[in-house]
Structure 1
Amino acid sequence: MKIKNIFKFLIIAFLTAQLGACVSNEAEQKFDQTPAERLNAREKELNDLLLSAEYGWKAVYFTDNTQLGGFTHLFKFSADGKVAMASDFDSDTSTYNSDYSIEIGSTISLVFTTKNRIHLLSDSNNFPVPGLKGRGYEGDFQFLYYGEENGEIIFKTKRSFEELRFVKATVEDWTDLELNTEMAQNVIGSEKRSLFRLLEINDGTNIHKLDFNYAPRPRFAIANSVEQGYNMSYNMGIAFTKTGIIVSPAVVVNDQELTEFIYDDSTGSFTATGTNGVSAAIKYTDKPLILTDDYTLLLPGIGNGNNAYAYIHDYTELEGANSALFLSLLNDIEEANGEPLQRAQFWFNNADGTNYVEYRFGNVSYYHYFTLKADDVNKTITFIPDAWKSGRNPKSPTITAPSFLKTLDDEFMNPQGLYFAEIPVVGYRAYTFTSTTTPFRMVAYSFQ
């Protein structure tokens, strides 16, 4: 072997030996504890972290931001295995006590072992929309510990392996939690404001408007573009704060991620502001950005035979597109009549040429007949009221209109007309009847 090659070989051998020694020392340091000892150390680490925050911890938990929003939870842990907990899941923001434990398995996990507010998200019988029946809000009550970063505790959910961070809570987080639920009503909207909204995107140069729809029970919003040449959509889960909302995933505008929207009470708008003129705002508008021809499905003519659409108690009632006004009218009817309205079912283009809405209560139904008038310019449909009947046969006896149905029926028979449009729901085809003059909207199951 040449002397030069021998010299290179000796150098490589020397460096390899040094590297091996370093790796060996690092490995010895890393594995100077048994697996059980390492897990016990991690258990103590998590326990110390949980107890270290003077006012406990806060987590904004987005269980599945592809279809659900976020829920704020507050936790104050005690050394005796007790935890005080509050959430903005609903209007009850009181603090409740329960048990927790730190469990050792293949990793360390925090488990809320007795029922508390966090379990509302994991109860499979507690579902926000029909498409999530048997799945609930897809939440968890066991969280795998992944360490601490910048004062935050990092977990991953056991069910979906999504990251969840606990941040240190403040006194105000506890005292002001009820303000989150007040903000929830602002996201839903006041009965005095329009039902129609838009998401206005400003990329610093151009402004684009997207149709915006929010479903309160799942806390989820969908925004779709209506402009030709601008194909964009945003689906976002929404969580409430005392000053506005947080959205997940972020609304990305010109490579900027906008997540925090601030509420303006004077206009009812929510605005997120970036840099260099970038912004996104949820605003009210007087009419839908999209006017469809769906109303023509209700008219007599070729291809439009007998068809039916219905509100169904405990089914379509759960859909977020139902307006607060509609739901309040249902409540008024139940209080006045002593039982809930089971169905408000519209029948169009019957064999005898009639149309009517059937109001069904158990085994009793009331039928209000009407004729149709279409507005092809504004793309609306108007129901012109006719007689009330005791049966679905037009020869059935005429009856006096039930007084407890008057307010709801007046919304349907609005002389200014209704918008009729298909909406996306999970599990079935649905349309909405929406007033052109009041904040009234009803989701209807399509039997076609």
Structure 2
Amino acid sequence: MKLKTIINYLLVAILAVQLVSCDNKETLDSPFNATPTERLNAKQKELNDLLQSSEFGWKAIYFTDTTQLGGFTHVFKFKDGKVDMASDFDDDTAVYPSEYSIGLGSTVSLIFTTKNKIHLLSDSNNYPTAALRGKGYKGDFQFSYYGQDNGQIVFKTNRSFEELRFVKATATDWTDLAKNRAMIPNVVGASTRPLFRLLETNDGTKVSQFDFSFTAPSRYATANSIETGSSVTSNMGIAYTPTGIIVSPAVKVGTQKLSVFTFDAATGNFNATGTGGATASIRYSNKPLVLTDDYKPLLAGNTKTVYAYIAANLATAPTNSLLCNSILNAINASLPSTQKVNRVTFNFNDGANGSYISYSFTGGKATLYHFVKVTEDPVNKTLILTNDGWLGGSEPALLKDLDKQLLDTKGLYVKKESFRITFSNSIYTFTSASSNFRITTYAFQ
């Protein structure tokens, strides 16, 4: 073989060896050379270091199910498997210690291993409404880690795979939990303000209105468009803040989404502001946004109808106003301990008896009957009840305040509600047109 050929072969061999050497070095240096377990262990350490890195811990506003529940603020401080935790779930906003772990499975998870405030959301026996019986607040205590985004820790819930973000807490976040709780009466609505509320949006060119109803135990509000033929809703879960509320889903105003509402103490409104004139406001109204004809079957000349407030089932109805509850409580407090208001029944067009309100009691106290004449205000669509005499004599002093509300000279708004309470009977509410009185009843026809 010629010397030149031999040299060429040697050069090719040397180049091949160098290429193999470089390839082996790249393989050894590649992160893909790590085993799945090694990668999970690295991720586990990353999360644990991250959890312990914030001076004042982390804050999370946890919306467990925005189709029926609101948000609950939690703050956490992590250190070596221990976690201090507080929340605005209830009035107890104190800090409690417990334990956590970083779990390894198909992914890395944060697990709150011993009972603390966040477990109140996952307890199936702890439920805010009858519809959630056996489901609780649908919360989790295990969260899958999905990395970081703009300084926030991104998790997904184990049960529903919903995103949950931890943001760095401040020193005031821990003390603000009590201020969150102080905001609740403003969301529920003050007894000194009108009973009716609305959500009003303005995208800069069009104003839209939605009726607004809030249920405090579930922290959830329903808002339905009042436009004829419209089925648009803006239902929302509500989380409390020291200065107002955060809602989820956000309220759509044109092309924008508004989620942060600030409380205005002067008006009682909650206001959100976007750009280009976009606004949203939860405000009070002196009358229902939509006046119904639900009162008409109660007028003279129709068939017999009966509606009854039954204390055993309706005393805690969310549609009873604070004024109604306070009047009923005052009546009960004035009676012997064995006697309480049992029922308030509206009887309309009962043959020769006409129309009347009956008040019955427990403990053997006799039922009291107040006969009434029934007319209407067709413009304001109210039912007007006027005195037609008491069975057996004059008005009992015991019932003076309650009877005054039911015989409001401006009448009563009558509304067939869309929900049920305990039984399948339709729910009707009777609301004073001039005060903050509203009583909830079952329909018996």
Q: Which TM-score band (shorter chain)?
A: 0.7 to 0.9
Partner of 2:308: 309
Cα 1:356–1:84 shift into 2, 3 Å: same
**Residues in 2 aligned to 1:278 and 1:220: alpha-carbon distance in whole angstroms:** 24
Larger radius of gyration: 2
Cα 1:344–1:307 shift into 2, 3 Å: closer
Match of 2:429 among 413, 432, 435: 432
Partner of 1:381: 383
* More displaced 10-residue stretch of structure 1: 351-360 or 124-133: 351-360
**Residues in 1 aligned to 2:103 and 2:314: alpha-carbon distance in whole angstroms:** 42
How far residue 294 of structure 1 moved from its aligned partner, in angstroms, is 0.5
Partner of 1:144: 144
Secondary structure (helix, strand or coil) at the match of 1:233 reads: coil
Match of 1:412 among 406, 413, 416: 406
Q: How does 1:43-442 map to 2 (within 5 A)?
A: 43-79=44-80, 81-228=81-228, 232-302=232-302, 304-313=303-312, 315-333=313-331, 335-337=333-335, 338=337, 341=341, 343-350=343-350, 352-361=353-362, 366-371=367-372, 372-385=374-387, 401=396, 403=398, 406-425=400-419, 428=424, 429-442=426-439
Where in structure 2 are there 5+ consecutive unaligned residues? Answer: 1-21
How far residue 242 of structure 1 moved from its aligned partner, in angstroms, is 1.1
**Residues in 2 aligned to 1:27 and 1:387: alpha-carbon distance in whole angstroms:** 98
**Residues in 1 aligned to 2:294 and 2:242: alpha-carbon distance in whole angstroms:** 39
AA aligned opposite 2:35: T
Cα-to-partner distance string for 1:90-141 (whole Å, 9 max, x where unaligned): 3332222233333333332222233322222223233222222222222222
Cα-to-partner distance string for 1:338-390 (whole Å, 9 max, x where unaligned): 4765544434343544432344437766343332332222211233356667x
AA aligned opposite 2:385: F
**Residues in 2 aligned to 1:398 and 1:133: alpha-carbon distance in whole angstroms:** 47
AA aligned opposite 1:166: F
**Residues in 2 aligned to 1:273 and 1:102: alpha-carbon distance in whole angstroms:** 40
**Residues in 2 aligned to 1:323 and 1:308: alpha-carbon distance in whole angstroms:** 17
Question: Does the CA contact (< 8 Å) of 2:122 and 2:141 recur in 1?
Answer: yes
Secondary structure (helix, strand or coil) at the match of 1:49 reads: helix
**Residues in 1 aligned to 2:403 and 2:288: alpha-carbon distance in whole angstroms:** 23
Question: Does the CA contact (< 8 Å) of 2:420 and 2:427 recur in 1?
Answer: no
AA aligned opposite 1:96: Y
Cα 1:117–1:388 shift into 2, 3 Å: farther
How far residue 219 of structure 1 moved from its aligned partner, in angstroms, is 1.6
* More displaced 10-residue stretch of structure 1: 290-299 or 409-418: 409-418
Cα-to-partner distance string for 1:196-219 (whole Å, 9 max, x where unaligned): 122221111122332222222222
Tell me the matched-pair count: 417
How far residue 406 of structure 1 moved from its aligned partner, in angstroms, is 4.5
AA aligned opposite 2:309: A
Cα 1:400–1:170 shift into 2, 3 Å: same
- Is 2:438 the counterpart of 1:444? no
Secondary structure (helix, strand or coil) at the match of 2:183 reads: helix
Cα 1:398–1:330 shift into 2, 3 Å: same
CA RMSD across the alignment? 3.1
Cα 1:219–1:409 shift into 2, 3 Å: farther
How far residue 168 of structure 1 moved from its aligned partner, in angstroms, is 1.0
* More displaced 10-residue stretch of structure 1: 363-372 or 266-275: 363-372
State, as a whole percentage, how many aligned pairs show the same letter.
51
Q: How does 1:12-51 map to 2 (within 5 A)?
A: 29-51=30-52
**Residues in 2 aligned to 1:170 and 1:70: alpha-carbon distance in whole angstroms:** 19
Question: Does the CA contact (< 8 Å) of 2:304 and 2:347 recur in 1?
Answer: no
Partner of 1:3: none
Q: TM-score, normalised by structure 1?
A: 0.83
Cα-to-partner distance string for 1:253-303 (whole Å, 9 max, x where unaligned): 11101111111111111111111111111121211111101012323444x
**Residues in 2 aligned to 1:299 and 1:287: alpha-carbon distance in whole angstroms:** 21
**Residues in 1 aligned to 2:135 and 2:405: alpha-carbon distance in whole angstroms:** 35
**Residues in 1 aligned to 2:36 and 2:366: alpha-carbon distance in whole angstroms:** 70
Where in structure 1 are there 5+ consecutive unaligned residues? Answer: 1-20, 390-396
**Residues in 2 aligned to 1:300 and 1:245: alpha-carbon distance in whole angstroms:** 46
AA aligned opposite 2:427: A
